[in-house]
Amino acid sequence: MTSYADFYRQSIDQPDAFWADQAGLIEWHKPFDRVCNYDNPPFVNWYEGGQTNLCHNAVDRHLLDRAGQPALIAVSSETGTEKIYTFADLHGEVQRMAASLKALGVEKGDRVLIYMPMIAEAAFAMLACARIGAVHCVVFGGFASGSLASRIEDAAPKVIVSSDGGSRGGKALPYKPLLDEAIRLSSHKPGAVLLADRGLTPMDLVAGRDHLWSELRTTHVDAQVPCEWLDSTAISYTIYTSGTTGKPKGVQRDTAGYAVALAASMKHIFDGRAGETFFSTSDIGWVVGHSYIVYGPLIAGMATIMYEGLPTQGMDKKPNGGIWWELVEKYKVTVMFSAPTAVRVLKKQDPALLTKYDLSSLRALFLAGEPLDEPTARWISEGLRVPIIDNYWQTESGWPILTIANGVEPKPSKFGSPGIPMYGYNVKLLHEATGEELTAPGEKGVVVIEGPTPPGFMQTIWQDDARFVNTYWKSIPGKLVYSTFDWGIRDADGYFFILGRTDDVINVAGHRLGTREIEESISGHGQVAEVAVVGVADGLKGQVAMAFVVLKDSSVMGDSAACGKLEAEIMKRVDGDLGAVARPARVRFVTALPKTRSGKLLRRVIQAVCEGRDAGDLTSMDDPGALQQIRDRMETV
């Protein structure tokens, strides 16, 4: 077995040889004649001259060996339905969808915007686009008209694929009126709209524009649509970032590099094997959904579970905090992927649910999207008794930047660290102001990636090369490096620790403190379920830290003496861990924190509210009630 250190070294020192090897993990129509073209940094072209197709690698390729095996398992605890599509079934559905899109005028290079709940048709639409060389742009189904309109405007889709609606907690959420309104708001109008009617909510069709999938599917039931062979660098899709720090960016990805990167990550990182089942609890609206609900597992020949519903609702629509574990048992899931925010929800459930089901098939649970605090990691790791593997990446990267590659060489995880740099990523820590490289253990710097960025990484920002270069590659003086805009440190063993975003730093009386470090200290208190710390302008100290805490038992909030005692305990903890300068000026108790639709803390919004400023772009926010609580608590300071 190669050591990971050697594997990694080769990827950095001999990228051509390394990635030429990895390219063997996918099927090509035409071999490439150049592995990496980095003649025009920071732009990089992978596998020039080659031709392949993502849909071929995800679906058609498996027809030979596993046509009758499960490919897509669509489960909805919202509608109480479960349907298994084999690779052969999926091949049929994707061709029907591809034929329907073509009939609606979609050609190679055209954009198709997908605004859908977590139903099988959404995956059919993505794969159908890949099949015919159309560029998909999936917009998270939870977004309202304003956010959707700006994305329609930016992507200028020829066709939009949508549905009558979604459902959350048993309540139908109409999508169609939001879509109609978004199209009205946008100056770009799609030529056609294709709708999957789930019978959840009534919808009005616009004559001449709107078409029903049920009808087109029947028309094209026997359609045979061969895969379009695409140049390696052909755009496969665009996707927007979460919008945690501001206006979302339209990340653009290629075809071949992405296919190779996913195939390689399934082997080396996720260790998922053909014929097994992969379960990612994310949403197709996010990058994790693209890479590890749809493309990654299918490329690896695995079945993938697409789950619509809350983690706390059973198939009988009754509360069931064990639904995910029920699915793991039923479909013998071997690899699972979720987010810390979801685990924190489960943490409030009965821990006995973790031992009620047979989870012996499960080899690992991967978590990503935000910092994984140690108490949450310990709780889930002790409950599941499988390795909990943190992985750090971004919409921009498409696959993990920092984690553990147990498929290459098993290595222990360290609590609080997502791991070490993945092959292909030349990760460095740089001094924010001088750009000097920091190599000593424990030195804190900006996490950057030196080009060429590996296959699968974003090509550019959709139709805005200048914004791509200026936003990501020009932030460190004098150096052309990709900035992640996250702070990190590295320990003596080379493990990285992410300390928060570069704009989440507060300055208390001249001391620069990461809000993340203060949160980490507070979350170690036994009664704390979740916490957000922000810096608030202060006439005397410049900034002071404010902490908003969600307690495991929210009934304590009614007891002001108990709250006062808790506040004092929390402050004492921070004093002990980080020193008195880091101590929050106030600890306020709330029942929910403002988050993005993908479950990430919106510190920038909390901070604006605390300072009485306009909170700016709120389109990515999930729960307005949570923000109102912050407002109310600030008034009572």
Instruction: Tell me which residue of 226, 350, 235, 339 sits closest to 286, measured CA to CA.
Output: 339
Task: Tell me the closest approach of the beta carbon of residue 403 to ligand ATP, in angstroms.
Answer: 8
- For residues 465-484, which are near ligand ATP according to CB under 6 A? 484
φ, ψ dihedrals at 577, nearest 5°: -75, -45
Rounded-to-integer distance, Cα 506 and Cα 488, Å: 16
Nearer to ligand ATP by C-beta: 391 or 523?
391
DSSP 203-251: -PPPTTTEEEHHHHHHHTTT---PPPPEETTS--EEEE---SSSS--EE
Contact 430, 436 (CB under 8 A): yes
* DSSP reduced 3-state for 187: coil
Per DSSP, 521 falls in state H
Q: Which two tokens stand for residue 225?
A: 């649509």
Nearer to ligand ATP by C-beta: 242 or 341?
242
- For residues 231-250, which are near Mg ion according to CB under 5 A? 241
* DSSP reduced 3-state for 356: helix
**Beta-carbon contacts of residue 470 (< 8 Å; ≥ 6 apart):** none
Q: For residue 267, how far is the Cα from the chain centroid?
A: 20
Task: Tell me the closest approach of the beta carbon of residue 484 to ligand ATP, in angstroms.
Answer: 5
Nearer to ligand ATP by C-beta: 15 or 456?
456
Site for ligand ATP contains 309 (CB under 6 A): no
278 binds, among ligand ATP, Mg ion, none (CB under 5 to 8 A by kind): none
Site for ligand ATP contains 211 (CB under 6 A): no
392 binds, among ligand ATP, Mg ion, none (CB under 5 to 8 A by kind): ligand ATP
User: Please, how many CA atoms are within 13 Å of residue 335, restricted to the half-sphere of its CB?
Assistant: 26
Nearer to ligand ATP by C-beta: 372 or 384?
372
186, 394, 483, 629: residue in contact with ligand ATP (rule CB under 6 A): 394
Cα–Cα distances (Å) from 32 to 13, 45, 383, in that order, read 21, 11, 47
Task: Tell me the closest approach of the beta carbon of residue 229 to ligand ATP, in angstroms.
Answer: 31
164, 370, 373, 520: residue in contact with ligand ATP (rule CB under 6 A): 370
Angle at 246 between CA 244 and CA 251, to 5 degrees: 80
| Amino acid found at 542 | G
Region near ligand ATP per CB under 6 A, out of 18-26, 296-304, 324-332, 364-372: 364-372
Task: Tell me the closest approach of the beta carbon of residue 80 to Mg ion, in angstroms.
Answer: 36
248 binds, among ligand ATP, Mg ion, none (CB under 5 to 8 A by kind): ligand ATP
Task: Tell me the closest approach of the beta carbon of residue 372 to Mg ion, in angstroms.
Answer: 17
Taking residues 562 to 601 in sequence order and writing x for each that binds ligand ATP by CB under 6 A, - otherwise, the string is: ------------------------------------x-x-
Contact 53, 227 (CB under 8 A): yes
Task: Tell me the closest approach of the beta carbon of residue 499 to ligand ATP, in angstroms.
Answer: 9
Q: Which two tokens stand for residue 308?
A: 């619509």
User: What torsion do the CA atoms of 351, 357, 362, 367 make, to the nearest 10 degrees?
Assistant: -30
Contact 5, 415 (CB under 8 A): no
Task: Tell me the closest approach of the beta carbon of residue 533 to ligand ATP, in angstroms.
Answer: 15
Region near ligand ATP per CB under 6 A, out of 35-43, 94-102, 178-186, 386-394: 386-394
600 binds, among Mg ion, ligand ATP, none (CB under 5 to 8 A by kind): ligand ATP
Site for ligand ATP contains 390 (CB under 6 A): yes
DSSP 249-298: -EEEE-SHHHHHHHHHHHHHTS---TTSEEEE-S-TTSHHHIIIIIIHHH
Task: Tell me the closest approach of the beta carbon of residue 46 to Mg ion, in angstroms.
Answer: 22
Edge-first strand order for the sheet with 364-368 is 81-86, 70-76, 303-308, 277-280, 333-338, 364-368, 388-391
φ, ψ dihedrals at 186, nearest 5°: -85, 145
165, 250, 371, 599: residue in contact with ligand ATP (rule CB under 6 A): 371
Site for ligand ATP contains 241 (CB under 6 A): yes
Nearer to Mg ion by C-beta: 422 or 547?
422
Taking residues 485 to 514 in sequence order and writing x for each that binds ligand ATP by CB under 6 A, - otherwise, the string is: -x-----------x--x-------------
368, 408, 578, 626: residue in contact with ligand ATP (rule CB under 6 A): 368
536's enclosing H/E stretch is strand 528-538
483 binds, among Mg ion, ligand ATP, none (CB under 5 to 8 A by kind): none
Region near ligand ATP per CB under 6 A, out of 2-10, 392-400, 505-513, 520-528: 392-400
Q: Which two tokens stand for residue 251?
A: 């990340």
454 binds, among ligand ATP, Mg ion, none (CB under 5 to 8 A by kind): none
Rounded-to-integer distance, Cα 479 and Cα 473, Å: 8
Instruction: Tell me which residue of 531, 538, 547 sits closest to 584, measured CA to CA.
Output: 547
Site for ligand ATP contains 280 (CB under 6 A): no
Task: Tell me the closest approach of the beta carbon of residue 393 to ligand ATP, in angstroms.
Answer: 6
Site for ligand ATP contains 391 (CB under 6 A): yes
Rounded-to-integer distance, Cα 247 and Cα 310, Å: 27
Report the interface residues with Mg ion, using CB under 5 A.
241
Report the interface residues with ligand ATP, using CB under 6 A.
241-246, 248, 368-372, 390-395, 418, 484, 486, 498, 501, 598, 600
